[in-house]
Each structure stands twice: as structure tokens, then as C-alpha cells.
Structure 1
Amino acid sequence: MIRLPLATLTSACMASLLVVATAAHAQNAAPAADASRLHAADQTFIADGTQVVATQRDAARIATARSSDRDVKAFAERVSTDNAKITAALRAASPRGVDVPKNDPDAATLASINNLRGADFDKAYIEQVALAGEQKALSAFQAEIASGRDEQLKAVAKQSLPAIQAQYAAAQDLAKRKHLATNAQ
């Protein structure tokens, strides 16, 4: 049997712990490296896409509670359902290590409709959320399809685009029925 001095054994143990700690740190740091390698267009899509979808979803919840118009409520329910699916798809498709905000709506947009009631609420909701919000969503998702580099994110954008286009068409129809100006895309 070989006898080693206590200092040698202690040094060997410390070296082993250092190797294990370094390896563990490298594994934990790997996801952050993935996030930094994400193309700028993809990062923008994650930030802008999730914000506009969250804003529309939260505004739709407000609309179902505050509007007395059944058409506005029906539109809001559709948006809420569609955007919950889009949010889940965005989270699932985002590369490992990339932070996708769970709930990051545009506070100014929500504040602008939050205290309104009746016809005033319906008008502001249709103009600011339904029409303008859907245009922002279309722009964000179309930009990802055109310029994004992450294939999973592009696939989500392509899969989600028909729902967003349908929401925008429904918003335009709703605005026409309520005698409000529609914005041409």
C-alpha cells in the first residue's frame, strides 16, 4: 500500500473539486451563450412579438369585462384564445437559454383603455388594440418570416400569421360595422 502525505491527498481532493465545479459552471453558462448568438432579427421578434401578443391578450380580457357590445366581446374572446396559443408556441420555439417574457404587455396601451366604459371603451379598443395592435403584430411576424434566422421561430411566425391576418380582417370588419375608420395596411 502506498502512503501519501496528508497535504498531497488534500491537494488532490481540492483539484478534483475544482475540475467538477468548473465543469458545472460551464454547463450552466452554456444557455447564456446561446442567447448571445441569436440573430438581432430573432431577438427583436421575441421582444416585439411577445409584447404585442400579450398586450392584445390582456386588452381582450379587459374588453370582455368592460364592453357591453356583443361584437366587441366576440372579437376579444377570439383574440384571447388565438393569442394564448401563439404565446405558447413562441415559448416552445424559443432557443434554449433565451428569455421569453411571460407577460410584458404595453402598459400605455392598457392604461389608455382601462378606465373607459361603453361606447368610449369600444371605440378606443377597436382603434388602439384591434386595428393598430393587429398591424403591429402583422409587422413583427412578417419581419421574422423575412429576416429571422432561427428556423423554429420562423416556423412559429409562419404558422401564426394566418391567425393574425384573420384577426386583422375581423378588426377591420368590426370597425366598419361600428362606423369607425379602418387603417389600410
Structure 2
Amino acid sequence: MIRLPIASIVCASTTSLLLFASAVNAQTTQPAQPAKAAQPTETVRLHAADQTFINEGTQAVATQRDAARIATSRSTDRAVKAFAEKVAADNLQIADALRAASPRGVEVPHNNPDTATLDSIKNLRGAEFDKAYIEQIALGGEQKTLSAFQAEIASGRNEQLKDAARKALPTIQAQYASAQELAKRKHLAAQ
């Protein structure tokens, strides 16, 4: 049997324990770092134009969508109902695209229509409803929506949001052109 001095055994044991502790520490701290980076706890700061677009763009789209849903039940005119159904479906897709394009950590309003605008048409029916819907929502509301999306394309800094605005713009322009045509057929002043 080999006899070693106690100091040598203590030194070797201490060194082994330190090496083992270092290895365990290295294994436990490395996976924790990526987990921290994956958590969406950071607040993303957007340029003012991008934040305005998120607020105004989502509100304009939600207002158009909800007003179109009201129109499908309150209007008596087939052309108005058909226009409203198309707008409701298109604007649902646009809203989803805006939420998808928004950076992580940015709160995007999910359902924030302009309630005053909706209240202004909510109790109307028939021809009175059609006139108010076409003038206030289809024409006036589409102009607001166009303005919000064009402003993002011109002044926005977030490329994902600008791209979403670019992709949605032809749909919004087509909605506005349809609204103008509808207004002409109903002998209303097109804007």
C-alpha cells in the first residue's frame, strides 16, 4: 500500500472539487443565457411614425371592418351589402397582417374601432343608413385609412411595418375606388 502525506490528499481533493464545481457551473449557466434572450420582456421602442401607424392604421381598419359588419345587417341595398362584405373580409386580413408585421414586444390594438363613427350609423336603417355609410364610412373612412397607410410608407422606419403597408395599399385603394363607384351609382357626392 502506498502512503501519501495528508496534505497531498487534501490538495488533490480540493483541486478535484474545484474542477468539478467549475464544470457544473459552466454547464448550468450556458443554457440559461439563450433562455433570457428568448423572453419578450424587452420593450421595443418604435419611431413616432411607426407607432402612429400602429395606432391609427389599426383603428381605421377596425372601424371599416366593424362598420361593414353593421352594413351587412342594416342595409337594404344589395350593392351596399356586397361592398360591405368585401371590405369586412379584406380588412380582417389587413388587421392580421399588421399584427404579424409588428415587432415583438410592441402592443398592437386587437379591436379598437372608432366607436363614435360606429355609433353615428348604428341606429340608422334602409336608405338613410346607406347614404350615411357610403359618405361617412366608405368614402371618408377609406380616405383616413389610405392616409394612414401612405404616411407609413413615406415616413415609417420599421421595414416590416412599411412592407405590410405597401402590401395592403392596393386593397385599400381598390376599396376606395369601389366606394367612389358606389357613391356615383347612388347619386351621392364622391370624395
Q: Establish whether TM, by shorter chain, passes 0.5.
A: yes
2:75 is aligned to: 67
- Does residue 96 (structure 1) correspond to residue 108 (structure 2)? The answer is no
For residues 40-59 of structure 1, give each alpha carbon's deviation from its aligned partner in whole angstroms, at most 9, with x where no partner exists.
00000000000000000000
RMSD of aligned alpha carbons: 1.8
- The alignment's TM-score, normalised by the length of structure 2, stands at 0.80
2:133 is aligned to: 125
Residue type at the aligned position of 1:145? I
2:41 is aligned to: 29
Contact 2:40 2:104 in 1 (8 A): no
Rounded to whole Å, the distance in 2 between the matches of 1:117 and 1:53 is: 23
Rounded to whole Å, the distance in 1 between the matches of 2:40 and 2:141 is: 37
Contact 2:40 2:105 in 1 (8 A): no
The ranges of structure 1 where at least 4 consecutive aligned residues each deviate by more than 2 angstroms after the TM superposition are: 26-29
Rounded to whole Å, the distance in 1 between the matches of 2:68 and 2:173 is: 17
| Unmatched segments (≥5 aa) in structure 2 | 1-12, 15-31
Partner of 1:122: helix, strand, or coil? helix
Q: Which has the larger Rg?
A: 2
For residues 67-93 of structure 1, give each alpha carbon's deviation from its aligned partner in whole angstroms, at most 9, with x where no partner exists.
010000000011001101100100000
1:27 shift after superposition: 4.5
Matches within 5 A, 1:102-141: 102-141=110-149
Residue type at the aligned position of 2:119? A
| Unmatched segments (≥5 aa) in structure 1 | 3-19
Partner of 1:139: helix, strand, or coil? helix
1:143 is aligned to: 151
1:28 shift after superposition: 5.2
Count of aligned pairs? 161
2:60 is aligned to: 52
- The alignment's TM-score, normalised by the length of structure 1, stands at 0.82
- Does residue 164 (structure 1) correspond to residue 164 (structure 2)? The answer is no
Residue type at the aligned position of 2:70? I
Identity of aligned residues (%): 73
Rounded to whole Å, the distance in 2 between the matches of 1:97 and 1:29 is: 7
Rounded to whole Å, the distance in 2 between the matches of 1:98 and 1:79 is: 26
